[in-house]
Structure 1
Amino acid sequence: MTGLLALFRNIFSTFLILTVSLSAQSYPDSKVDELLRKGIDKIINQNYDDAKKIFSELDKVRNDIPLGKIYLAATEIAKSYDYELPYNHNLITDYLELAKSISKKLIEKDKKNIWNKYFLALTEGYIAYYDAIRGSWLQAISTGLNSISLFEDILETDSSFHDAYIAIGTFKYWKSAKTEFLNWLPFVDDEKDLGIKFLTIAVKNSSYNYHLAVNSLIWIYIDRERFGDAIELAEKALIKYPESRIFRWGLARAYEDIDTQKAINEYFKVLNSFPDTLKSNNINEVTLKHIIAQQYYKIGKKSEAKKLCEEILKIRNYSDYEKDKLEKRLKRVQTLYKELNSY
């Protein structure tokens, strides 16, 4: 199932950072448009409490549309994903089910309204991603395909709706990349290049929020070993959002195969960027220190790698949630530490 998880993480990573590129198609209500833009900026800069306030206001101002509820759910998912905290399942599910119900009713009233279809596509995308990270694979696949199908319908209606290019392009690339072993079959198409093309279109045309497609492209370029392209994209995104861990983590990964010391520096920036209130959260600390230790080991800085392993192995106050999430990684840390001690 790890392959499926990787597929869904990449297909719907765009939803995590909010797949709304609103420059090419702004929502007709200027107040809604304004609140969406502000809320999106807050999420990308990890100001989750501010984002919740903005999307709560949006939900009050226009409770006849589902955007407030969609983005309240998105904020909860993004915060838990970023901070490695347990998901508030009941709250997230309530937001998304209400959003889905509102979206379907709007479509029943006006099937030709592209925004109504977009609301449902976006909601289905979030539901699919959330199902995937909780291990509900069959449901995630079904809902995810529904989301992509809706985005394809949107694109057929309006080819300038560049948000659809982001979702479809991301899906086409990772679907093909994770099923390459089947590409020899006559009925299985290799759509990786088409996926990159769609995302490139979104980047070029979504001038205000083009960075929402950038995150997908960063990881696709890394997957294609186009590390220079990944670095260029990540650095451009960080000019606008210098505090964003999403883009800096991608930048650090891209540097691993170009300049390992720079990768280490970037990973340390990510590690040190978490708020003080999360100092007791062990998952990100262990994960990042292990990654950095591996990079040190790769360039022969064994004492630095050993020190980080020792810091990890000294941690004792794991919660049950953290123990479950870190079980396999801690075993790899112990293996690396033993190897370092053998020198």
Structure 2
Amino acid sequence: MVLCRSITITFLVLLLNYFAYSQRFPNQEINRLLDVGIEYVLNQNYDLAKSKFSMLEKKYPELPFGKIYLAVVDITKAFDYGEEINSEAIAKNLDEALELSENLLENNPTDIWNHYFVALSKGYKSYLRVLNGDWLSAISSGLSSVNYFADCLELDSSFYESYVALGTFKFWKSRKLEFLEWLPFFDDESENGIRFLELALDKTSYNKNLAAISLIWVYIENKNFYRAIQIAEKELKKNPINRTYKWALARAYEDVNPKIAIQVYKELITSYQKIPDQNHYHEIALKHIIAQQYAKIGEKRDALRLCDEILSFQNLTEYVREKLADRFKRVKKLQKELID
């Protein structure tokens, strides 16, 4: 289960960045469509992003780029909005992308892009399987994906996209298996993972977003909160409305300045409330987090008010109630503690 969680975190971090941005592909039009599409994703314009990736798929059906990114837009939007994922449509795109990728690799095994296509396809298939609770298949796809990223480095040591994926994997694998450090075969690669990620952050042209979000959560895990804040604030200057960076920034501030963390979390709530027909999934989670922060700094009245607000939500979908069942229990527990 620890290894399962390690692989889950690896590809969750890939997802929380919303896209593993490729190095410059040798086709200007493809690069332009990727540039624009991913910029739309970073600014949470998912419909516009899908239009660009649909165009990419139609113009270049022999390449898996379009199918991979269409799948990831759907995953990303569902994750960002707290909605139920459309597994069937996503799986179809990823299965077809993997088939294309493997055919390309078989026909030209020396082309680094063909290894990269397989790595991406398998990586996102792994995460989709995690979301669907298919852990055994997720482990297999996840490890296979990591191996293909390693193959990219064998072909070209300056292929920094692989440094991001491998750095993330090395850190979380070591961190979640550290209880085995007394065994002779255990190799703690957490520092090596950080080195890979810092190198990618410094060297990549397009993958900086991925390296950045990965490093932020790595430094939070390492309790190096000031470095996490530094990276998050720098990235937010480029994409000030990006909820992924804001959430990570707020989490980093929790252990440095809870009042700033509360303010950033409130900005996130405002952002989610602007989404048409939102299901309140993240709004409820954020209000609970803020209530916990208020309780931590002794502002019990504000904490209790938020608990009351959470428990008064009506007309939630069955999906949201099921996903938040444990959180509602914790909110009730906090409410009772605040009253007592």
Which TM class, normalised by the smaller chain length? Answer: over 0.9
State the alpha-carbon separation in 2 of the partners of residues 3 and 124 from structure 1: 17
Aligned partner letter, 2:92 = D
Deviation of 1:275 after TM superposition, in Å, equals: 5.4
RMSD between superposed Cα atoms in Å = 1.5
Work out whether residues 11 and 174 of structure 1, in 8 Å CA contact, stay in contact via their aligned partners in 2.
no
Kindly indicate whether the alpha-carbon contact (under 8 Å) linking 1:44 and 1:244 is maintained by their aligned counterparts in 2. Answer: yes
In structure 2, C-alpha distance between the alignment counterparts of 1:283 and 1:74, rounded to whole Å: 20
In structure 2, what is the Cα distance between the partners aligned to 1:91 and 1:125?
17
Query: What is the distance in 2 between the residues matched to 1:224 and 1:83?
Result: 28
Question: Superposed, which structure 2 residues align to 1:1-343 within 5 Å?
Answer: 4-5=4-5, 7-22=7-22, 25-274=23-272, 276-278=274-276, 280-342=278-340
Q: Structure 1's 134 and 30: CA in aligned 2 closer, same or farther, altered over 3 A?
A: same
> Could you report, residue by residue, the CA deviation over 1:174-215 in whole angstroms, capped at 9, with x for unpaired residues?
011011101111111101001001001100001344121110
**Partners of 1:218 and 1:234 within 8 A in 2:** yes
Count of residue pairs the alignment pairs up: 340
Counterparts of 1:212 and 1:90 in 2: how far apart (Å)?
26
- What is the CA–CA distance in structure 2 between the aligned matches of 1:305 and 1:133, rounded to whole Å? 32
Kept in 2, the 8 Å contact 1:163–1:202? The answer is yes
Local SS of the residue matching 2:20: coil
| Structure 2 CA distance for partners of 1:158 and 1:12, relative to 1, 3 Å | farther
Please, which moves more after superposition, 267-276 or 234-243?
A: 267-276
Residue 209 of structure 2 contacts residue 235 of structure 2 at CA under 8 Å; is this kept in 1? yes
Q: In 2, Cα distance between the equivalents of 1:324 and 1:2?
A: 24
Shift of 1:133: 2.0
C-alpha separation between the residues in 1 aligned to 2:197 and 2:176?
Answer: 18
User: Following TM superposition, by how much is the alpha carbon of 1:142 offset from its aligned partner in structure 2, in angstroms?
Assistant: 0.5
For residues 337 and 2 of structure 2, the distance between their equivalents in structure 1, rounded to whole angstroms, comes to: 26
Q: Is the 8 A contact 2:279 2:317 kept in 1?
A: no
Could you tell me whether the CA contact under 8 Å between 1:170 and 1:199 is conserved in 2?
yes
Cα pair 2:11 2:124 within 8 Å, conserved: no
Give the percent of matched residue pairs that are identical in Structure 1 and Structure 2: 46
Task: Letter of the 2:13 partner, please give it.
Answer: S
Partners of 1:50 and 1:331 lie apart in 2 by: 38
Q: Which runs of 4+ in 1 moved over 3 A?
A: 1-7, 18-22, 275-280
Deviation at 1:306, TM superposition (A): 0.7
Per-residue Cα deviation, 1:233-253 (whole angstroms, up to 9, x for no partner):
000110101010000100000
Gaps of 5+ in 1: none
Find the aligned partners of 1:188 and 1:341 in 2 and give their Cα distance. 48
| Preserved contact between residue 15 and residue 125 of structure 1 (Cα < 8 Å) | no
TM-score, normalising length: structure 2: 0.97
Give the letter aligned to residue 309 of structure 1: C
Relative to structure 1, is the Cα distance of residues 178 and 265 closer, same or farther in structure 2, using a 3 angstrom cutoff?
same
Letter in 2 for 1:320: E
Cα displacement (A) at 1:286: 1.0
Moved more, 294-303 or 317-326: 317-326
Q: Map Cα deviations across residues 316-335 of structure 1 (whole Å, 9 max, x no partner).
A: 21221111101110000001
CA deviation vs aligned residue, 1:11-62 (integer Å, no higher than 9, x gap): 442244345344xx30001100111111111111111011000100110111
Q: TM-score, normalised by structure 1?
A: 0.96
Instruction: Please say if residues 271 and 285 of structure 1, whose CA atoms lie closer than 8 Å, have aligned partners that are also in contact.
Output: yes
Asked if 2 retains the 8 angstrom alpha-carbon contact of 1:19 and 1:166, the reply is no
* Uncovered stretches (5+) of structure 2, i.e. residues with no partner: none
Name the SS for the 1:187 alignment partner.
coil
